[in-house]
Amino acid sequence: MTSVFIVYLDKELQAKLRFIPDLRDNFLLPHYICPMQKPSNPKGTRDFGPAELRKRNHILNTIRSVFENFGFQPIETPAFENLSTLTGKYGEEGDKLLFRILNSGELVKSVKTEHIEKEDNIAFIQSISKKGLRYDLTVPFARYVVQHSNEVVFPFRRYQIQQVWRADRPGKGRFQEFTQCDADIIGSKSMVNEADLVLIYEAVFKKLGLSNAILKINHRKFLEALVQELNLNFEVTQFTSTLDKLDKIGEAALKEEFLKLGVTEHAIDQLFTIITEEKISLQFLDKVEQAFNHNPLAVQACTELREVVQFAQLENLDLDVRLDLSLARGLDYYTGCIFESVVPDSGIGSISGGGRYDDLTGVFGLKDVSGVGISFGIDRIYEVMANLNLFDDHAPSDTILLCHFDEESRNYQYGIAKTLRSKGMAAFIFPDTKKIAKQLDYANKRNVRFVLIAGGSEIESESVTVKDMISGSNTEVKIGNLSSYLIDQGAKVN
Amino acid sequence: MTSVFIVYLDKELQAKLRFIPDLRDNFLLPHYICPMQKPSNPKGTRDFGPAELRKRNHILNTIRSVFENFGFQPIETPAFENLSTLTGKYGEEGDKLLFRILNSGELVKSVKTEHIEKEDNIAFIQSISKKGLRYDLTVPFARYVVQHSNEVVFPFRRYQIQQVWRADRPGKGRFQEFTQCDADIIGSKSMVNEADLVLIYEAVFKKLGLSNAILKINHRKFLEALVQELNLNFEVTQFTSTLDKLDKIGEAALKEEFLKLGVTEHAIDQLFTIITEEKISLQFLDKVEQAFNHNPLAVQACTELREVVQFAQLENLDLDVRLDLSLARGLDYYTGCIFESVVPDSGIGSISGGGRYDDLTGVFGLKDVSGVGISFGIDRIYEVMANLNLFDDHAPSDTILLCHFDEESRNYQYGIAKTLRSKGMAAFIFPDTKKIAKQLDYANKRNVRFVLIAGGSEIESESVTVKDMISGSNTEVKIGNLSSYLIDQGAKVN
């Protein structure tokens, strides 16, 4: 019998299909209209399935365990904040990228339409929205510290691993939802904290296998000293935002830009002599101090960096730590050390950044809270590791699958699954009584390594056949020896 | 010298304060205007600090580890979905409680003000919002399965632990943001799955110390059979939604309601004879089948429940599992077994629920996907455990604090902290050189158990003094023996 399968290109055509003569009634032809277009997640967001989460969680758990190893404690803040907390903290551009939540229920009636008539979008939005999604973890953290200042024990070593949302135009590698991993120490000005953060970088990169990672360090006061020494008559912020372009546009184009800004050729030459990048060491810091002509700001930066070098014993570290005098990041936010890390040849830019700031909470009324922090970008680390083939994509699942032939063997296997689970091994029985080939096919697709098969002969001899899906071997094992056998073979115990 | 401290009641008054005569200039009185009102998290949301997260994460990690022990795999979906995915899935009431996200950027200009003039709020909202926050984990899961049906391996055992948001009026114990923990098995109709879920309940409650927890089970077909047997001439849905009130209003008031609906006194008496609650067993199921007069629907329910009893060996379980013939939950959603769990005398209602459904994904065009799932309410479990004092509130932190007197001992201790961390112990050095009393005060407030102190004499003898903040004991320990000493004393190694 022939069937007709009707497909269509869009919703409009789908609607029209309802009016075509009924094939089944008129021509006795069964026909099926394709279901509606598949539902999908919003652009700029992602679904994570088991295979991807295994890798993402490996990164997250590694970073979390390092943070905890250094005595950091977790906090969590809500997904949305009052707009009064968020707006004005990320610049005009950032305000535009805030996801605003519509007032719910009756509140939406209080909409002020006159704002639309006047084309005043901001006033209009304010009239219908009082809350926005978290844009980063720093502002909510600052709000948290001020709100809970009575409970917080300073110096506060907090970490926070949560999602943030930005209404950026979605694109390759640019998401509207992504995860940030922040660690900050606030309420202490000691360079011990900076040293700890450097050691965190070392531990995270080592544990993730990112052996080529480079940590670049700079100090805000070097940038201020440059402006002084080169007699630049403009703001440090303008200087650093121009300097920040070095990586993108190169030395020649940057020189042009500085010339346009009125910097003399001589000063530019001086600048390029000074802003070198070299492995950080006490010796190099001495050279830098000289290059800066012992400018007091530069001396202060060198003094602080020397402490970091000594505490963290940077010269003997398993991590390539460089002093990069052109590193600016974050413009006027940082006031002391500045960090940025990259993995060369990974095709991805910076995977983490941070630095010291002198006034985290001032905007919320609590002055003089100095701190230093770093933030790891999980999505970028994921991409780096994928590009460098650092994930074991074929790692078999830790779950053991039990197969059966009939009701009797299902009951038999169900008991064995319970025993294995009670010993800490993940295990479950294929629920439906299907052909063994189908059950093995399922094991294959789920990437299961150990499959246990039991039929009449195994039940009689109180055993199971352990099939290793990697080697293909089949071994009959007595129930009494089963868990120790599986553990010997590499089954994971939790 | 006297100071004046100016406080105010609201923002308006704060603004006016700027115009009072300057006390400092005119009267030489220093004065401080209180900073702005403290910022706060939105009503209905919560900040979680380290102490609370330790307990919440204990619950989450316990449930996660049990799910994984039973071979469930994680997925994650985005915080927001297209409104077309969400609306119409939670009933009219649910649609009102969706948090809608305002279109960003230029899109907000496409607002249709004529809808406001016509007081058509829904059309107005649709014109300015295309996305909404996740309301539960079931609809996003259904969307995920349909969208990724080529990758999903059936039967799919998935778990999902994520936050959901509902624009409920905030109140005691009622939040706009909370965490759900769902486990579902889809693509299999075998009762092995129901049995696995019962064993998950047992394992979770045992590991959390909820030894009094009760798991109530019912079957949708019992409810349908009741409608048939009692000759009720109304929909099963109406019957169950009335029956659902039993717990709230009691037997007498429920009887009144049924009388009003036209149910005969005789039928009501029959009903109350049948809807008993008793420990589930093969014997009790036989009695129930008789009470239902071997109604075919009831027989089918009994057959399925007998399989669950036998697979999970419910009669020997460490969990009080009861057949509650009045349990309805979720009205017309469930088609087979229904689960609900409670902890008596905890002051909290149900802490978990679930059941079998025959059509998870039909609404998205993929028919005949049967599944069974359960969902744990973390916030309610947290409250139950807090009410029953099941948390160890005084558990000391696993972090070791190293104190110092001067630069020399700081360097000395910094090296020891590194060594301890490399052996898997969480440790950090107090960063600033303050009086030991201050450092110990910090250790106290952070609930640290082991404090290591080193001064001149310890440095000379290559040792540290280990102070146990619980016992108050001080023990000098050689560096070479330090980590094994701390482990012996109970320091945690990761």
| pLDDT tens-digit series, residues B231-258 | 888 788 888 888 888 878 888 998 998 8
CATH 3.30.930.10 applies to domain A50-82+135-387:
yes
- Averaged pLDDT score across all residues of chain B: 89
- Asked if A49 lies within 8 A of B78 by C-beta distance, the reply is no
Dihedral (Cα; B310, B312, B313, B314), 10-degree rounding: -100
Contacts of A140 (CB under 8 A, 6+ apart): A77, A78, A81, A85, A134
B147 contacts on A by Cβ (under 8 Å): 38-41, 47
Q: Give the whole-angstrom CA distance, residue A310 versus residue B222.
A: 74
Chain A environment of B410 (Cβ under 8 Å): 192
Mutation site for A-interface testing, chosen from B69, B81, B416 by largest number of A Cβ within 10 Å: B69
Compute the nearest-CA separation of A378 from chain B (Å).
15
Query: B421: which chain A residues are within 8 Å (Cβ-Cβ)?
Result: 69-70, 203
| Minimum-distance CB partner of A177 among B78, B143, B445 | B78
Which residues of chain A does B189 touch, with a Cβ-Cβ cutoff of 8 Å? Answer: 432
For residue B15, the SS3 value is helix
Nearest CA to CA, how far is B331 from chain A (Å)? 25
Within 8 A of A78 by CB-CB distance, chain B residues are: 41-42, 45-47, 177
Q: Chain B contacts of A99, Cβ < 8 Å?
A: 80, 101-102, 104
Q: How many CB contacts within 8 angstroms connect chain A with chain B?
A: 280
Taking the CA of residue A288 and the nearest CA in chain B, the distance in Å comes to 25
ipTM over 0.85: yes
Cβ contact B79–A35 (<8 Å): no
Which residues sit opposite B215 in a β-bridge? Answer: B321, B341
CB A140 within 8 A of CB A79: no
Strand order in the sheet with B450-454: B427-429, B400-404, B450-454, B463-468, B474-478
Q: Mark yes or no for CB contact B79/A426 under 8 Å.
A: no
| B156-165 and B352-357 strand pairing | unpaired
Q: Do A65 and B494 touch (CB under 8 A)?
A: yes
**Which residues from chain B sit within 8 angstroms of residue A424, using beta carbons?**
69
| Range list for CATH 3.30.930.10 in chain B | 50-82+135-387
Do residues A59 and A117 make contact, with C-beta atoms less than 8 angstroms apart? Answer: no
**A146: chain B residues, CB-CB within 8 Å:** 38-39
pLDDT (0 to 100) of residue A179: 96
Res B111: pLDDT: 63
Q: How far is B193 from chain A (nearest CA, A)?
A: 7
B71 sits in the region (left: phi over 0; alpha: psi -120 to 50; else beta) called left
B294–chain A nearest CA distance, Å: 25
CATH 3.40.50.800 residue ranges of chain B are 400-488
Q: Write out chain A residues lying below 8 Å of B428, CB-based.
A: 70-71, 157, 196
Among all residues of chain A, which has the CA nearest to that of B420? Answer: A69
Measured between beta carbons, the chain B residues lying within 8 angstroms of A75 are 47-50, 53
Distance from CA of A108 to the nearest CA of B (A): 8
Query: Which residues on chain B are in Cβ contact (under 8 Å) with A47?
Result: 75-78, 144, 147-148
Of the candidates A379, A354, A384, the residue with the CA atom closest to the CA atom of residue A183:
A354
Distance, CA of A67 to CA of A158 (rounded, Å): 9
When CB atoms are compared, the residue of B45, B68, B71 closest to A80 is B45
**Do residue A494 and residue B426 have CB atoms under 8 angstroms apart?**
no
CA distance B153 to A443: 10
| Partner residue opposite B42 with nearest CB, options A96, A131, A193 | A131
Q: Residue B99: which of A101, A199, A433 has the nearest Cβ?
A: A101
Position B426: which residue type?
Answer: A
Beta carbons within 10 angstroms of residue A386's beta carbon: 16
Asked if residues A467 and A473 have their Cβ atoms less than 8 Å apart, the reply is yes
The residues, ordered by sequence, that sit 6+ positions from A73 with a Cβ below 8 Å of its Cβ are: A156, A157, A158, A159, B50, B53
Tokens of B361: 């994904």
Tell me the pLDDT of chain A (494 aa) as tens digits: 344 445 444 455 555 555 444 444 544 444 445 445 689 999 999 999 999 999 999 999 999 999 999 999 999 999 999 999 999 888 888 888 999 999 876 555 566 666 666 666 667 777 889 999 999 999 999 999 999 999 999 999 999 999 999 999 888 878 999 999 999 999 999 999 999 999 999 999 999 999 999 999 999 999 999 999 888 887 888 888 888 888 788 888 989 988 888 888 988 888 888 888 999 999 999 999 999 999 999 999 999 999 999 999 998 898 999 999 989 876 567 899 999 999 999 989 899 999 999 888 988 988 889 999 999 999 999 999 999 999 987 788 889 999 999 999 999 999 999 999 999 999 999 999 999 999 999 999 999 999 999 999 999 999 999 999 999 999 999 999 999 999 999 999 98
On the 0-12 / 13-18 / 19+ scale of CB atoms within 10 A, B313 is middle
Tally Cβ neighbours within 10 Å of residue B183: 24
Inter-chain contact A365–B36, Cβ cutoff 8 Å?
yes
Cβ–Cβ below 8 Å for A442 and B188: no
The reply to whether residue A365 touches residue B411, judged by beta carbons under 8 angstroms, is no
CATH (one of 3.40.50.1000, 3.10.20.30, 3.40.50.800, 3.40.190.10) for B400-488? 3.40.50.800
Task: Please tell me the predicted confidence (pLDDT) of residue B409.
Answer: 96
Q: Which of B92, B77, B137, B197 is nearest to B360 (CA)?
A: B137
Question: Rounded to whole angstroms, how far apart are CA atoms A348 and A351?
Answer: 8
